[in-house]
Every structure is written in structure tokens, then in C-alpha cells.
Copies of this chain bind each other. A is one copy, B any other.
Amino acid sequence: MYRAPVDEIAFTLKHVAGLKAAIEAGSLGDLSEDLVDAILAEAGRFASEEVAPLRQVGDRQGAVLEDGAVRMPEGWPDLYRRWIEGGWNALSGPVDYGGQGLPTMLGVAALEMWNSGAMAFGLGPTLTMGAVEALDRHASEELKATYLEKLVSGEWMGTMNLTEPQAGSDLAALRTRAERAGDGTYRIFGQKIFITYGEHDFTDNIVHLVLARLPDAPTGTRGISLFLVPKFLVNEDGSLGARNDLFCASIEHKLGIHASPTCTMIYGDGFAGDREPGAVGWLVGEENRGLACMFTMMNNARLAVGMQGVAVAEAAFQKALAYANERRQGRAATWRGEGMAPIVHHPDVQRDLLAMKALTSVARAISYCCAHATDMARAGGDKANFWQERANLLTPVAKAFSTDVGCEVASLGVQVHGGMGFIEETGAAALLRDARIAPIYEGTNGIQAIDLVTRKLPQSGGDHVRGYIAELREAVDALRLSNLDGLGRSAERLERALDHLDAATQALLKMLGDGAMQAALAGATPYLRLFALASGGALLARGAVASGAGDRVALLRFFAENLAGETAALRETVIDGGASLEAAAKALVA
């Protein structure tokens, strides 16, 4: 059973991602290390003792649609109630509307724990938080007054309605339409698919944020507006009024996250019956500027999805480690006890477990650094732009690398369990099933890589990423100078990895400068992994130096000598793999 790794999380936040320095510099108001520790400990308790025990029933029963209503798994509505009563939904919410206004770093650390407990549970509130952020930044005071407090507390939940059958990654193809009702409200008509938590029985109202087009809107993404469309209209006194003209037509039968209802939502087909068809909606932000509002939500959602990767990886590692210490098969040189050896003594099982642990640590470090950059950008001041660029740079890496790691580690977890791993009751396979969506939603990992290469590398003319690599080199220099015991070839290998990152980055910047876009696109995915492995190694080095010695140094060395070497091949692929891809791809086109 999952136990939240509170110490590891606290260490990474403070000593790797920069929380301690930020607290000491006063960048985070009156936040103290003690408060951080207290919050993490309590979140860890809730995730381990309340969320995790309900994971399996959630997977087995799933969310069930009956007569337009979605019934959540046994115990889950009550779990949600206890969770919002604990104030967890409001953790990073705006203070003006009852939130605790704590830094993203803490929100993200807590999010990791909820998702380790049960990803299908952790997912729902992520959407609510995105809705809070979008409304807080872009909505009218009236909308905020009506909706924000209840969304911050979690009394109501929010959703994001983007995808349509013909419009997934390409939002320019959206067709859902909005008509002006003449009274300042709008009527929404259309079908949205893959709407996470589009319908459920956790809360008595659900606040949908829906992208749609006005009749006179320009084509493409410049003609999309964002609307708030509640399941129940809200009376002036805040009580619930009429049912709005929207409903959940079906929920998907998915590989994993069975307890998370993935809904097809129908807007404005006359479902409400007693009035003209059209779901009543309110504009958020300006007409035709909906995508900008949605991007507010999407960036944070990307980091949140990255945390799901970290979270499932952590849960899978813990499960596999426990099994490897318990299951006995064969003999092993390091086993001194009687009978067969626990399989944790077999070197090839150790290799799997250490790869799981190291990759999880790297993904966590990158993701927390991304959260830190977000907090620092929000703190304002001279360096706000610098930190915003940093957050921009790290967001696609945190999303894509962490979710790839989630799948990789969950798959290794199945392997460590041997035959038992394939049996559903064991629970290892369920983690792999859950993890598999994260590289897909919130922008596929391919799209993240393209975003990294084409939009993030060129920030400040390439200076931002160059500066980041220089910072990473400092961390590896500090490691070399530390003279810590047991480093082996760590410093040399991590330096080499940074050389590869440097070379590949320069090559991509040159391709972009030369307009060689196809070559740059072809190298995007291997570049993102190269970026994560090289920078992640430097972050592990920072942690090893901060902790001084012991397990953290040994894990860093394992990473440097066994996993960082992949960067050499990735560099080559980025730099000269594109030509062969173009030639070979001709055979793929029907």
C-alpha cells in the first residue's frame, strides 16, 4: 500500500527545486519551512490513509452512467467530501475567494500525493483548479462573485470543454457554436467529447468552461470564445435554479482511470424541455479571445498531468519494492538468510528497481522546478519575466518526460511482479493502465516536444535556454568539487550529458534560424528526452551535494553511469536523424 514519501518530497522541494532559498529570500511571503512540513505531512496522511485505500474499488467499479446521471464508485463521494472539508481543494486557491493562496510548489506536491493514492481521484480537482484560475484571471466580477468561492472550496467542481470529434490537438477545427441571447448571456449548441468529470455525483453543481464560436467569428483559433455553462443555473441568492440544457450522453470505456468519468457532453439540444433549446452560457473574457483564457488553464494543467506521471511512478516503485522484498525465488550472492532469496537480491531486479527510482526522482525534480518557476514569476519583481520564461521552458518537459516515465516505471513495476503483475488483483497492471493516458491528454507528448523546440528554445533569442544549461553546469561543477565518497564517474558522465544537450540545443536553434522547420520537428521528441535526462542528472547532483552523502549519492551515481548515457544517441538523432526520417516516411503515406 502507498505511503506518501513526505521526506523525499520535502527534500526535493527545498533543496533541489529552490523552495528553501525562496522562503529565506522572502519571495513567498510568510511561508515557513515548518508550515511546509506540516502541510506535506497532513497531505501525506490523507493520501495514504484515505485516498489510496479506495483506489482499487474505483478501478473495479468505475464511474457508471445511468439515465444521464453518473454514479461514482462506492465510497468516492464521501472521500471527496472529506477531502474538501480538509481544505485541500482550496490549497493554492485565491485568498479573496476563500483559498489559502499557497505556492504552486505546495499545490503540486500535494497533487502528486493525491494522484499516487488514486489518479482517477486526483484528476477531477485538477480541472476545478484550472477553472478557478481561468475565472480569477479573465471573468467578470459578477461571474467571480457567483462561482469562485464554491469552486475554490470544492463545493462545486469545474470542467474544461475543448475537444470535439474532429478537433483534438487542432482547436482551429472547433464547431460548437454560441449565439448571443440579447440579454448579455449566450446560448451554446454542440457536442464535446473526452470531457473529464463532465458529470458525476460528487457535487450538486458542475461548472463547465466551454470553447465555442460566435456566428460572426473569424475562422481558425482567432474565432474561439470561452463560456461558463453551469449544469444548474444559479439564483441571485446563490441557490440552484433551473437545470441547464446540457447533458452527458455517454461515458467512455477506457483502458484506465476507470473512476474518472470521461463524458460526451451535449449542449443545447433541448434536453431541458421547458424552454427554447440552447445551453445558457456567460462569456469569460472577451469574444474571440477564448483561447488565451484557455491557455491559462492549460499550462497549469500540463504541469498537473506531469505530476500524474511522477505520482504513478512513485506508487509503482513502492509496490514493486515491497513485492521484491517479500517474494522469494532462487539463490543470490548477497542473501545470507535461509531458503530462497527475496528477489530484491537479484541484480537484474535491482536494476529495474533502481531505474524506477532514479527516473521517478528525475521527473519529480524537473516538475517541482517548474512549479518553483511559476511561483517566482507570480511573485513579480525584476526577474518575473525570467521566471516566466523558465516556467514556459520547463512545462512541456515536466509534462512529457514525467508522463513517459510514469508509463515506463509502471511497466517495469509489472515486470518485477512476474506472473502476479499480469493478474489484475495485484494492482500493478492497474497503475500501467492509469498511467497510459497521461502522455496523451493535455497535448500529446509529441506536441509538448514541438512546443519545447519551436516556442520555448527561441525565448530571448535562445539566451534563456543557454542560461539554463549554464546553471545546470554549475550544479555538476559543485558535484565534482564536493569530493563526496562514492561518486564514481558521476561528474564526468553528467558533464558529458550536458555537452550533448548543449550541442543539440545549438543545432536546433540553428535549424530554427535557418528555417529548417521539418528537421527541427523531426528532432523534437528525442530532444525533449535528452533535455530531461541531462537536466535531471544535474538536479540529482544538486540534491546529492545538498544531502552530503549516502543513498542520494548512490542513486545519482546509478543514474549517471546507467541511464544518462542515452543522451549521446539522442544528440545524434536530434542533429542528423531527420534526413533519414524524411526518406523513410514516404513509405508510410497511403
A-side interface residues toward B, CB under 8 Å? Answer: 163, 166, 168-170, 172-173, 193-194, 252-256, 321, 324-325, 328-330, 333-334, 340, 342, 344-354, 407, 411, 414-415, 418-419, 421-425, 429, 432-433, 436-437, 439-441, 444-446, 449-450, 486, 488-489, 517-518, 521-522, 524-526, 551, 554-555, 557-558, 560-562, 565-570, 572-573, 576-590
Are B350 and A424 within 8 A (Cβ)?
no
Q: Are B488 and A350 in contact (CB under 8 A)?
A: no
Question: Which secondary structure dominates chain A's binding surface?
Answer: helix
Q: How far is the CA of A437 from the CA of B328 in the complex (A)?
A: 20
Contacts of A172 on B, CB cut-off 8 Å?
A: 330
The answer to whether A444 touches B423 (Cβ under 8 A) is: no
Are B589 and A325 closer than 8 Å at their CB atoms?
Answer: yes
- Cα A556 to Cα B161 in complex, Å, equals 43
Q: Are B414 and A436 in contact, with the CB atoms below 8 A?
A: yes
Q: Give the residue name and chain of the B residue nearest to A551 (CB).
A: B587
Rounded to whole angstroms, the CA-CA distance of A486 and B344 in the bound complex is 48
Task: Specify which of A163, A169, A588, A590 lies most central, judged by the most chain B CB atoms within 10 Å of its CB.
Answer: A588
Q: Which residues of B contact A350 (CB under 8 A)?
A: 522, 581, 584-585, 588
Counting from the closest, the 10 A-B pairs by CB-CB distance are A565-B569, A348-B446, A255-B429, A554-B584, A350-B585, A558-B584, A325-B590, A347-B522, A347-B521, A170-B329
Inside 8 A of A562's CB, which chain B residues have their CB?
526, 573, 577, 580-581
Which of B415, B433, B436 has a CB less than 8 Å from the CB of A440? B415
Nearest-neighbour CB distance to chain B for A199, whole angstroms, equals: 17
Bound CA–CA A321/B589 (angstroms): 8
Chain B neighbourhood of A583, CB < 8 A: 486, 554, 557-558
Most buried by B among A425, A429, A584: A584
25 A–B pairs (Cβ distance < 8 Å), ordered by A: A163-B419, A170-B340, A252-B423, A255-B422, A255-B423, A255-B433, A324-B588, A325-B589, A334-B589, A344-B589, A346-B521, A348-B446, A348-B450, A349-B446, A351-B522, A353-B585, A415-B446, A429-B436, A488-B579, A555-B587, A558-B580, A560-B580, A562-B580, A565-B568, A568-B569
B residues within 8 A CB of A333?
A: 517-518
Find out whether the CB atom of B256 lies under 8 angstroms from the CB atom of A422. Answer: yes
Q: How far is the CB of A352 from chain B (nearest CB, A)?
A: 8
> Which chain B residues border A522 with CB–CB below 8 Å?
347-348, 350-351
Closest Cβ–Cβ distance, residue A453 to chain B (whole Å): 10
Whether the Cβ atoms of B569 and A253 lie closer than 8 Å is no
> Which B-chain residue is minimally distant from A353 (CB atoms)?
B588
Given A194-B419, A589-B345, are A565 and B554 also a contact pair (CB < 8 Å)? no
Check A329–B518 contact: CB distance below 8 A: no
Q: In the complex, A488 Cα to B579 Cα: how many Å?
A: 9
Once bound together, how far apart are the Cα atoms of A581 and B168, in whole Å? Answer: 43
Residues of B within 8 A of A566 (CB): 566, 569
Known interface pairs A352-B446, A354-B588; 18 further A-B residue pairs with C-beta atoms within 8 A, sorted by A's residue number: A168-B329, A168-B418, A254-B422, A321-B588, A344-B585, A344-B588, A347-B581, A347-B585, A348-B450, A348-B521, A353-B585, A415-B439, A415-B444, A415-B445, A419-B440, A551-B584, A561-B576, A561-B580
Query: How close is A270's CB to chain B, nearest CB, in angstroms?
Result: 28
A351 CA / B437 CA spacing, docked (Å): 20
A448 → B minimal CB distance (Å): 10
In whole angstroms, how far apart are the Cα atoms of A586 and B325 in the complex? Answer: 12
Are A173 and B340 neighbours in the complex by a CB distance under 8 Å? yes
Nearest-neighbor residue (CB-CB) of A552 within chain B = B587
CB-CB nearest in chain B for A345:
B589
**A422 CA to B577 CA in the complex, in Å?**
29
Chain B residues whose CB sits within 8 angstroms of the CB of A588 once the complex forms: 321, 324-325, 344, 350, 353-354
CB neighbours (8 Å) of A568 from chain B are 565, 568-569
| B572 and A557 contact, CB distance less than 8 A | no
Give the docked Cα–Cα distance between A588 and B437 (Å).
Answer: 29
Complexed CA–CA distance, A113 and B567 (Å) = 37
Is the Cβ of A329 less than 8 Å from the Cβ of B169?
yes
Docked-complex contact A254 and B344, CB < 8 angstroms: no
Contacts of A558 in B (CB 8 A): 580-581, 583-584
Q: How far is the CA of A445 from the CA of B440 in the complex (A)?
A: 28
Residues of B contacting A589 with CB < 8 Å?
A: 325, 334, 342, 344-345
Complex formed: what's the CA distance from A432 to B414 in Å?
13
A404 vs chain B, min Cβ distance (A): 10
Q: How far is the CA of A168 from the CA of B440 in the complex (A)?
A: 36
With a cutoff of 8 Å between Cβ atoms, the chain B residues found around residue A329 in the complex are 168-170, 173
Q: Which residues of B contact A444 (CB under 8 A)?
A: 415, 418
CA distance A166 to B328 in the complex (A): 8
Q: Which residues does chain B contribute within 8 Å of A193, judged by CB atoms?
A: 419
